[in-house]
Amino acid sequence: MEEKWYVIHTKPRQEDIACTNLENQGFEVYLPLLQGTKRLRGKWREVVEPMFPRYLFIHLTMYVDNIAPVRSTRGVSNFVRFGELPTPLPDGFVEHLKELEDPRLGFIRKDPPPFKKGDKATIVDGPLAGLTGIVQAKSGQERVILLLNMLGRPQKIAVPRDKLVLATT
């Protein structure tokens, strides 16, 4: 039998707990983390969170390693299965994820801007709240250039990124 990577389904928001407890039992586990930007309490913040919420990967030799303790580990819900047995991941899948990680930081960086040129965005705070315009460009890290139709003609204004949301229409 050869070693393969398998998928563990965890309890909600317990990926870290399951990972730590499985490592403490001597299992090799991998929890890919993704760094990105998220709007929290009205401000854009850098966050690091699981790439696959409620899932992590475990390296096992099926029929050799005892998998019974895995299912009863705190934070673990069960193996992902198709049929009776846990289904192995394709060869190289976890290795590819590890290659994407920044080795110094221990997570994968996700840096797409929340707004790209041509997106419709609505201002949610300030004197221009409720106005919708078209994103022209990013102006530095915290501001976005927005094209608004004001006073009968297009106007370009710089708006703080945390004062904008993508327009629904």
Question: What domains appear along the chain, each with residue ranges and CATH number?
Answer: 4-109 (3.30.70.940), 120-166 (2.30.30.30)
Give 2-28 pLDDT, tens digit per residue. 899 999 999 999 999 999 999 999 999
Rg (C-alpha) for the chain, rounded Å, is: 22
Longest pairwise C-alpha distance within the chain:
74
- Model confidence, pTM: 0.68
CA distance 147 to 141: 18
Residue 168 pLDDT greater than 80, yes or no: no
Give dist(CA 72, CA 161) in Å, integer. 45
pLDDT tens profile 40-70: 887 778 889 999 999 999 999 988 999 899 9
pLDDT at 23: 97
pLDDT at 79 over 90: yes
